[in-house]
Structure 1
Amino acid sequence: MSDLAMQKKKPAKVPVHGPQHSKQVRIIGGSWKRTPLPVLDALGLRPTPDRVRETVFNWLNHLLDNWSQSQVLDLFAGSGALGFEAASRGAGAVTMIDANTGVVRQLDAIKEKLKAANVTVLRADALAAAQSLALRGQRFDVIFLDPPYGLNLLERSLPLCQALVKEGGLVYAEAEAPLMGEEEEGGGGEAPDWLAPWEVVRFDKAGLVHFHLLRLRAKGA
């Protein structure tokens, strides 16, 4: 049989589906720099790109007084790229929340592998968890909001953060569009009502990702 005939008889490779992870991201700084984080093939799971995380943590390094004193909340944890990045850089405590059981198991496995004593992983609906944390009086220096796109989760979760963020604290918000429309690009866009209590401290864009650091406006401002 010719080589060409043998090649034709080889069975095609069948893609594997199920709990395997299709890709991975890496922690880019701190004690666990270059540690890979598996990304499960879960609905809406979209890790924050390396370039974006590098920019955001540069911002935070300039704006935070002390990472080791910081309380951090990662409300839509997903791959854990943001929460574990903060923990790697020495955050005092990081609370990571996700509703997907498989994702939470993966986060727990990473936490155990890293011996990340400063990380707490909770399985819960993000909006319900935010309300519960606020009722318990918990407050955070940094809150990460990177929800799945297209579900209006940012405009539903950001108002809840008013009762969760410490005075002078920061909220990271990632979205598929600028939060303030054309205003961020130098136009005259008007902020939606749910964004009105917040000022945009920093913003940038990488590909289709628009990312922002927000801070509550001073009362009366």
Structure 2
Amino acid sequence: MRIIAGEHKGRVLKAPKGDGTRPTTDRVRESLMSMLASARGGFDGAVVLDAFAGSGALALEALSRGAAAACLVERDGAAVRVVEANARLLGYGSDRARVRRADVLKAAVPRMGKPYDLVFLDPPYATDPADVLALVARLAAAGLLAGDALVSYEHDAAASAAVDDLAASAGLAVATRRAWGDTVIDLLRPDGARTEGAEPPATPHEEETR
């Protein structure tokens, strides 16, 4: 894995060993970052939560592109050590990249001084979408989400219908949906919030499947 763009473009990142994590491919990550840049007008100044950090590639990519700070949460100890090593490799201290070992579905999410503008959700595909979106609802209830926050949720395509129903119940709207084979990424936002450049969810024939 490499940082795709920004101040650390081309820098190689480590990945956790074994099958306990499922890193987002460079191609999907590049498309995701383009979606986010279009939806929010770039990354400058964003406060980021990477709730299932894995290697930390998503949050570290956002930092490279101008995000102000990121909290990277991961429950696996070996993966946490990889995240810490990747942050050090890029020269980020705890003021820019705060790494925590925790299960975000059970533990409180750390505060970063300001609400999160951007949340990455890339859990194992077997994770119940109800649990994932309940996490977003908890963040909002605790005042940890900015009013115009964007939430990126990567999940199996088979879960799309459930995500639609659960997002509505959690007060979220699907701003954009893109698919790459069985991988789907939804950009969610608080229902009623305006997101510059956001697109309506794609219909099945509009989704990217190459």
TM-score bucket of the superposed structures, by smaller chain? 0.7 to 0.9
Partner of 1:62: 38
Query: Quick one: which amino acid aligns to residue 191 of structure 1?
Result: D
Runs of 4+ aligned residues of structure 1 deviating over 4 Å after TM superposition are none
Gaps of 5+ in 2: 194-210
Q: 1:1-221 residue pairs with structure 2 within 5 A? A: 25-65=1-41, 67-117=43-93, 118-129=96-107, 131-133=108-110, 139-152=115-128, 154-162=129-137, 163=140, 164-177=144-157, 179-181=159-161, 191-196=164-169, 197-218=171-192
Alignment RMSD: 2.3
Determine helix, strand or coil for the equivalent of 1:36.
coil
Q: Is the 8 A contact 2:148 2:189 kept in 1?
A: yes
- Residues 87 and 116 in structure 1, CA contact (< 8 A), matched pair in contact too: no
Q: The residue matched to 2:179 in structure 1 has which SS?
A: strand
Q: Deviations over 1:104-130 (max 9, x none)?
A: 11111111121113111111112234x
In structure 1, stretches of 5+ residues that fail to align are 1-24, 182-188
Contact 2:36 2:42 in 1 (8 A): no
Question: Alpha-carbon deviation of 1:179?
Answer: 4.7
RCO comparison, higher one (Cα < 8 Å, 6+): 2
Post-superposition offset of 1:26: 1.3
Q: Distance in 2 between matches of 1:191 and 1:63?
A: 19
Q: Secondary structure of 1:108's partner?
A: helix
The size of the alignment, in residue pairs, is 185
The normalised TM-score by structure 1 is 0.75
Q: 1:29 to 1:35 in 2, by over 3 A?
A: same
Larger radius of gyration: 1
Q: Identity, % of aligned pairs?
A: 35
Q: How far did residue 85 of structure 1 move?
A: 0.6
Q: Is the 8 A contact 1:203 1:212 kept in 2?
A: yes
Matches of 2:177 and 2:53 in 1, distance apart? 21
Q: TM-score, normalised by structure 2?
A: 0.79
Q: Structure 1 residues 192, 40: closer, same or farther in 2, change over 3 A?
A: same
CA contact (8 A) 1:47 1:78 kept: yes
